[in-house]
Structure 1
Amino acid sequence: MKYNKIILAGGNGYLGGVLAQYYRELAAEVIILSRTQKTADENIKTLVWDGINEGEWADILEGADLLINLCGKNVNCRYTEKNRQEIIASRQQPTQLLALVIGKMKAPPKLWINVTSATIYRHAEDHPQDEETGDIGYGFSIDVCRLWERTFFETDTPKTRKVALRMAIVLGRSDGAFPRLLNLVKFGLGGHQGDGQQYVSWIHEQDAAKCTEWLLQKEELSGIINCAAPEALSNTDLMKLLRRSYGIPFGFPAPAWLLEIGAKLIGTETELILKSRWVTPKRLLDNGYTFLFSKAEHAVKDILSIRI
């Protein structure tokens, strides 16, 4: 085994599952910290925690190669006051708790990755946003990201290197955005959303996992890193690609006013669809990361080819 122990805090969701499967052949143990117990799957084990209080789970972090924090309430909801508070607390509290525990350790994790969000950048249709010159946006979701990253970096963990991985939309087989977009295509609703000019930054699920291992090996890198494929594409082009790849010639578009009505009905926010997220992975590229899937066409074909 290449690694002794990989820890996934809040790893019971979609991306946590991708990471667990990626590391199961590479590590002696993959430990998921979750609010609910699950039966062990060979070397993938679950320990119960609440993300707020210290407990017996804390000892497992000692000597870990990598800690990836995935905690956070799903933002696919209406931004009511209650949901806003839960979205913030579910990110800030586990980050503070992990820092407290790590700060007491003689052999803390070598690398701590907090998976944050590329939505921290402004709505951008003019040029891509990178880690060095990108403009931070405004609004609730951006405020959450800023507070989350500030909480992460202001904690003192001198023996643990830290990376805030600003994740783009993860495209994969089993969950996340891809199956939902594909369902629209299947039912003839796969036209552009809004005016279709908003950019979509994305990352194939295997690159999302692979780059965490690459960062573990790149001991000189820390700080903020964008996790997105090099080539973003417009919403219009993305939906066209999905229709072509699936063999559906036409899809009805959804204007912004219709999306607002639909968002209220299903309990979400139109920002998740209409904001232009144009992000470039400058630090990954500058430091030699090689993408498995750098083009959306190849990523979509791969996902469809092994569709369950």
Structure 2
Amino acid sequence: MERPKLVLAGGSGFLGRHLVRHFSQLGYAVVVLGRKARPGVVQWNGRTPGPWAAELEGAAVLINLAGKSVDCRYHAANRHAIVRSRTDSTRVLGEAVAACRTPPPVWLNASTATVYQDTPGPQPANTEAGGRLGRNFSEMVAQRWEAEFSLAPVPATRRVALRAAIVLGADGGALPVMARLARFGLSTPQGNGQQWVSWLHVVDFCRAVEFLVAHPQLEGAFNLCAPEPLPNQALMALLDAHYRPRWHLPQPRWLLEVGAFLLRTETELILKSRKVVPDRLLAAGFQFRYPRCPAALADLLPQLT
């Protein structure tokens, strides 16, 4: 019996590797669209049609994770690349799906929980229905990304936007960097430590994507995050308790600004208050394996030591 095909655009990074492994174990034949052709990867540039589009014909699932990393300085050239890498890849995939005789029945497109505005203190958490969309650069990028997705002329294909929070894993993403710094005493609150952190174990990220694929009545935007966000100071305390560094170095905002400049990144990535909950996933019956951060870190941090 022929295995169902899953096409994964932009699947060469941290999340892509986990999805390839997860869906391959479920019995899917996974085809990755990437910048360089190699075994298991079909080349595309994320902007224009090409031979890669034939992979979509008759595919069971399309997932798009393509987009330039936001871990950079937000100068004009990078801003342009961040926006265009997301909107161009989404647009050209929509064109390719529209041209299929047998298009994929479901298309999951990456988005981000950063679509919501800074939510400090006791304000209610952002849900899909009641979230407050922001107006700064990163928030507008997310909105343009989702707008391009909604404009795709694919009436026969169910669309799901993945508003993912910070995904924690032992082999990529933010956690290995945070853990390395914590070992050397940077396990203190970042800034005032009051900013909320919405997060998700990488296992639950893959399971949530599987859940959304398997339930044909689910479409639209979904927050992909654990149901219990926590303040930055609580997250750093968990890292501190695990690594028990000999000394502790303070991380005031001004020092983080200097560090971000030297590392060619932006402090928004750690100082913005992201308070997001997965209302729609919970209402649909999804059960998290790691709903609380202490359990998630207890699973992941030993893999880093």
**Per the shorter chain, which TM-score range?**
over 0.9
The reply on whether 1:36 has 2:31 as its aligned counterpart is no
Partner of 2:83: 88
Contact 1:190–1:250 (CA under 8 A) maintained in structure 2: no
The reply on whether 1:47 has 2:42 as its aligned counterpart is yes
Partner of 1:24: 24
Contact 1:2–1:27 (CA under 8 A) maintained in structure 2: no
Partner of 1:108: 103
Contact 1:245–1:300 (CA under 8 A) maintained in structure 2: no
The AA in structure 2 aligned to 1:25 is: Q
User: Which 5+ residue runs of structure 1 have no aligned equivalent?
Assistant: none
Partner of 2:274: 277
The AA in structure 2 aligned to 1:237 is: A
The range that moved more, 244-253 or 86-95, is: 244-253
Following superposition of structure 1 onto structure 2, how do residues 155-304 of structure 1 map, counting pairs within 5 Å?
Answer: 155-248=152-245, 251-304=248-301
Name the SS of the counterpart of 1:47 in structure 2.
strand
Deviation string for 1:203-258 (max 9, x for gaps)?
00011111111011111010010000000000000000111123447532200011
For the residues of structure 2 that align with 1:251 and 1:222, how far apart are their CA atoms? Answer: 46
The structural deviation recorded for 1:3 is 5.3
| Alignment CA distance shift 1:302-1:3 (3 Å) | farther
Name the SS of the counterpart of 2:204 in structure 1.
helix
For the residues of structure 2 that align with 1:226 and 1:65, how far apart are their CA atoms? Answer: 23
For the residues of structure 2 that align with 1:116 and 1:280, how far apart are their CA atoms? Answer: 15
| Alignment CA distance shift 1:155-1:305 (3 Å) | same
Partner of 1:121: 116
User: Which 5+ residue runs of structure 2 have no aligned equivalent?
Assistant: none
The structural deviation recorded for 1:306 is 3.1
Partner of 2:52: 57
For the residues of structure 1 that align with 2:240 and 2:225, how far apart are their CA atoms? Answer: 22
The reply on whether 1:72 has 2:67 as its aligned counterpart is yes
Partner of 1:144: 141
TM-score, normalised to structure 1, is: 0.95
TM-score, normalised to structure 2, is: 0.96
Contact 2:72–2:265 (CA under 8 A) maintained in structure 1: yes
Name the SS of the counterpart of 2:181 in structure 1.
helix
Name the SS of the counterpart of 1:24 in structure 2.
helix
The AA in structure 2 aligned to 1:63 is: G
The structural deviation recorded for 1:37 is 2.0
What is the aligned-residue RMSD (CA, Å)?
1.4
Quick one: percent identity of the two aligned structures? Answer: 43
Contact 1:203–1:227 (CA under 8 A) maintained in structure 2: yes
For the residues of structure 2 that align with 1:249 and 1:138, how far apart are their CA atoms? Answer: 42
Name the SS of the counterpart of 1:27 in structure 2.
coil
Runs of 4+ residues over 4 Å off in structure 1: none
Contact 2:183–2:244 (CA under 8 A) maintained in structure 1: no
Deviation string for 1:141-181 (max 9, x for gaps)?
01111111000001221111000110000000111110011
Name the SS of the counterpart of 2:200 in structure 1.
strand
The structural deviation recorded for 1:2 is 9.8
Contact 2:176–2:304 (CA under 8 A) maintained in structure 1: no
Q: Match for 1:132 among 124, 129, 140?
A: 129
Name the SS of the counterpart of 1:21 in structure 2.
helix
For the residues of structure 2 that align with 1:246 and 1:187, how far apart are their CA atoms? Answer: 9
Count of matched residue pairs = 303
The structural deviation recorded for 1:279 is 0.3
For the residues of structure 2 that align with 1:244 and 1:257, how far apart are their CA atoms? Answer: 25
The AA in structure 2 aligned to 1:118 is: A
Partner of 1:4: 4
For the residues of structure 1 that align with 2:216 and 2:228, how far apart are their CA atoms? Answer: 26
